[in-house]
Amino acid sequence: MRKATLCLEDGTYFEGRAFGAEEEALGEVVFNTSMTGYQEVITDPSYAGQIVVMTQPEIGNYGTNHDDQESARPFVEGFVVRECSPIFSNWRAEKSLDDYLRGHGVAGISEIDTRALVRHIRERGAMRGIISSSQSTREQLGKRVLQHPRMAGSDYVRSVSTERSYTWPVESPLFKVVAYDFGIKYNILRCLAARGCDVTVVPATTLPEDVLGLEPDGIFLSNGPGDPEPLGYIVENLKKLVGKRPLFGICLGHQLLGLTLGGKTYKLKFGHRGGNQPVKNLISGKIEITSHNHGFAVDPESLDEGQIELTHMNLNDQTLEGFRHRSLPVFSVQYHPEASPGPHDSLYLFDQFLDVMREYRDQPVRSG
C-alpha cells in the first residue's frame, strides 16, 4: 500500500492511501456533492487547477469508460475520496478508476475523513493544497503549497481551450452555431447537435470578425475554469458581438456575459459543485434541480436593471443563476442544463436558444 498525504495551505494535514498516478498534485481544494458522475467530474475542463473532493463515500464502483468523458482527458489536478472501490461492476465499464487515473497521470488519495475535510473547507473556504506520496515533511509540503498560484487572478482558460477550430456536425442542420471553447463539455455539443445545430468550436482567443465571418445563426459561450476577471481579452471580443447575433452563455460564459454587460463578479467562499442545487426560475416560478461547477458568481447588484432582467436564483444562498437582456438576444445561466440531474428540468434552455436564433434569423433586416 502506498501512503499519501494531503496538506492544505493553512497547515491542515490528512494521511491516507495513494491511488492513481505516482505524482504530486497541486491546486485549489474544492468539493463536489454528486453521488454519481465521477468520470464526468474528472474530465470536466472547468476543474483545471483544482483538487476535487467527492462527498459520496464510495467512488469507483462502476468503473470508467470512454463514452462518459466530457473531454479528451482528465483536467482535475488531483482526486480525493473516502474509499476508492477496487472492484467495479457495470456492463459499460472498461477499467477501474485507479487504472484510469494512473494512465492519465492524475494522483489520488483515499482512506481519509472526507466529511471532516469538507466541513473544514465550508468553514474556512476553498484553499490551495497538495497531494503527495513522497517522503517530504509537512513543512516542505506546506512551502510548496504556498508557492502555488491562487485561482483568483489566474487565467486557466488558455490552458484548456482548443488550439484549432473543429466542427461537431449534424446530418440535417437547422442552425449554424459558433461555440467559444473556454473549456467546453462534450455533452453541451451533443445537446446542441441533437436539436439540429451544426456547431463550429473555436478557440477562446478567436476575434469577433472571424466568428461573424462564419455566418452563424447564434453564438454559444461555454463553461470553463477559474476567475473571469483576468479574461479581459475575451470580454472585449464579446462586447463587439453583443447585438450582432444571439448569445447564450453557460457557467463561465454566463460570468463573462455579466462582465461584458457592465457587471462585476466575485469569488464564492467554497463555490457550488454538485448535481443537487435548487434553482428558481423567476419567470415561470418553477424550481429546477441543477448541476453546478463554479467558484465565482455575477453580482446582481452590479447589473443595470433597466437593461438586464434576472431570470434564475439559487435557493440555497440567493446567488444569481441567470439573466437575459431586455432588448437584445442575449441570455445566460450559471448552472449546467446539459448535465440533467433533474433529469430534464433545464434542457428547455437549449430549446430557448433555438427559439431566439429562429426569431432573430427571421427578422427582415439583420446587421453585422
Do 141 and 180 lie in a common domain? Answer: no
Last residue of one domain, picked from the residues 128, 147, 166:
147
Place 344 in a pLDDT band, splitting at 50, 70 and 90: confident
Quick one: average pLDDT of 147-165?
Answer: 95
Residues assigned a catalytic role: 251, 336, 338
Q: Tell me which of 23-32, 106-115, 315-324, 359-368 is least confident.
A: 359-368
How does pLDDT run across 250-264, given as a tens digit for each residue? 999 999 999 999 999
pLDDT at residue 368, as a whole number: 47
Place 169 in a pLDDT band, splitting at 50, 70 and 90: confident
Check which CATH number belongs to the domain holding 64 and give it. Answer: 3.50.30.20
Does residue 53 sit within a domain?
yes
Do 285 and 307 lie in a common domain? Answer: yes
Do 261 and 332 lie in a common domain? Answer: yes
Do 246 and 269 lie in a common domain? Answer: yes
3-state secondary structure 16-84: EEEEECCCCEEEEEEEECCCCCHHHHHCCHHHCCEEEEECCCEECCCCECCCCCCCCCCCCCEEECCEE
Given a cut of 50, is residue 340 above it in pLDDT? yes
Last residue of one domain, picked from the residues 147, 169, 201:
147
Does residue 221 sit within a domain?
yes
Does residue 367 sit within a domain?
no
Does residue 210 sit within a domain?
yes
Q: Which percentage of the chain shows pLDDT scores above 70?
A: 99
Do 192 and 210 lie in a common domain? Answer: yes
Place of cell 447564450: 248
Do 59 and 34 lie in a common domain? Answer: yes
Does residue 366 sit within a domain?
no
Do 51 and 102 lie in a common domain? Answer: yes
Closest CA to 13 of 178, 125, 107, 140: 140
pTM of the model: 0.96
Q: Which percentage of the chain shows pLDDT scores above 90?
A: 93
Closest CA to 34 of 90, 81, 67: 81
Cell numbers found for residue 185: 463539455
3-class DSSP assignment, residue 155 = coil
The average confidence (pLDDT) of the chain is 96
Given a cut of 60, is residue 181 above it in pLDDT? yes
Given a cut of 80, is residue 44 above it in pLDDT? yes
Does residue 152 sit within a domain?
no
Last residue of one domain, picked from the residues 125, 147, 169:
147
Residue 291 domain boundaries: 157-361
Place 342 in a pLDDT band, splitting at 50, 70 and 90: confident
pLDDT at residue 150, as a whole number: 93
Do 182 and 103 lie in a common domain? Answer: no
Given a cut of 70, is residue 67 above it in pLDDT? yes
Structural domain count, the chain = 2
Do 30 and 88 lie in a common domain? Answer: yes
How does pLDDT run across 228-241, given as a tens digit for each residue? 999 999 999 999 99
Bigger pLDDT: 137 vs 26: 26
Check which CATH number belongs to the domain holding 207 and give it. Answer: 3.40.50.880
Do 201 and 99 lie in a common domain? Answer: no
pLDDT at residue 364, as a whole number: 66
Do 140 and 163 lie in a common domain? Answer: no
How far is Cα 6 from Cα 231, in angstroms, rounded to an integer? 31
Do 176 and 317 lie in a common domain? Answer: yes
Does residue 368 sit within a domain?
no
Does residue 318 sit within a domain?
yes
